[in-house]
Each structure stands twice: as structure tokens, then as C-alpha cells.
Amino acid sequence: MGKKITSTIKGIVFTPSEFFSQMPKKGGYKEPSLFLILMIFVGLLINTIGTALFVGRPNPLSIPIILIVGTVIIFLACSFGAALLYGIWRVMGSEESFETAFRCLAYISAISPFTSLLSFIPVIGPLASIVWVFLLIILASIKVHHIRSTLAWAVWGSIGTIFFITTLVAQVAYRPPLVVLVE
């Protein structure tokens, strides 16, 4: 299974168009669910370690709780997200199943460890992550759901732009001010 996980990550990160063109649309939920759980866990682990390095050491007993509870909560949120993607893709004309939508979302999560690292770069990191996610959703729309390119770019580009602007405003508005101590 390790080679398959590595292959999936490489496919999504380096050749996403090819990956989505060849992605199996059926085969059950077990494999994509396990992949999604692993990517969520690794992403949370990176965030937890990075936060501990930048903010301070958390209680060592809280780390497993954060990872386990966080993984479960994010997995459930992703399942809901797959339902939203499925609904939007259906409105856009896709005839694919919910399983296919879930698989797209699960495999897009391959970038989670990378976006977790990017999140530590103020302003630019979260914005780059949003762009990356929406580019992958657009590719999945075109390659897996066979939605016209112009429609995929219009719909997901608009939604992505809203996320981008909202995140930009939040990043700029809530950045802590630089404090200069003058004696």
C-alpha cells in the first residue's frame, strides 16, 4: 500500500491532469478513505509540530488527542465537503456518482502535508494553498467529471476567488502588528 500512496501523492502533486484522467471512479470507499485519513493525520501532525516550534510546547499528552480528534473531525468535514462538491458538479452537468466525487476530494488531500507547511508562510502560504486546491478541483471537473473547461474555470474560479479574497482580507486584517521596543 505504501507504493500506491506514494504514487498517488506524486501523481496529484506533479502530474494532476494525468492522475485525474486515469483515476478509478469506482472501487469502494475504503482505499480513498484510508488515504484521506492518512493525509489529514500527516497534515495535522505537521501543523502541530510547527505550532509547537513557533508558539511553544503543548502538553505532550494533548498531542495524541489533538491528532486523533482532529483527524476524525476533519474527515467528517471532508465527507460533507465531498457532498457539496458532488452537488455542485451535478448542477454543472456531471453524471458521476457521489463515490467519484468523494474519491476526487480524497485524492486532492494529497497536498495536505504541503499546504500545512505553506500555512506557516504568512499571507502567501494560505493563499497559495487556496489556488492549488481550486486548480485541482478544476482539473478534476474537466478530467473526471467531463465538464467543459470554460464552465469549470468559471464556476470554480469564481468560488476560489471568493475564498482567496476572504482569506487575503482575514490575513491582512488579523496579522499581529510588528512591535518595536524603543528604550
Q: What is the pTM of this model?
A: 0.87
Over the stretch 121-180, which tens digit does the pLDDT of each residue have? 888 999 999 999 999 999 999 999 999 999 999 999 999 999 999 999 988 777 665 555
Domain ranges of the chain: 2-173
* Residue 182 pLDDT: 54
Q: Which one has a higher pLDDT value, 69 or 115?
A: 115
> Positive or negative, the Cα torsion across 136, 139, 144, 147?
positive
Q: Which one has a higher pLDDT value, 159 or 54?
A: 159
Query: What's the mean per-residue pLDDT of the chain?
Result: 89
Using CA atoms, how far residue 77 sits from 37, 82, 162, 176, in Å, is 12, 9, 20, 29
Find, among 52, 39, 3, the residue nearest to 113 by Cα.
39
Is the pLDDT reported for residue 37 higher than 80?
yes
The rounded distance, in Å, linking the Cα atoms of 7 and 20 is 13
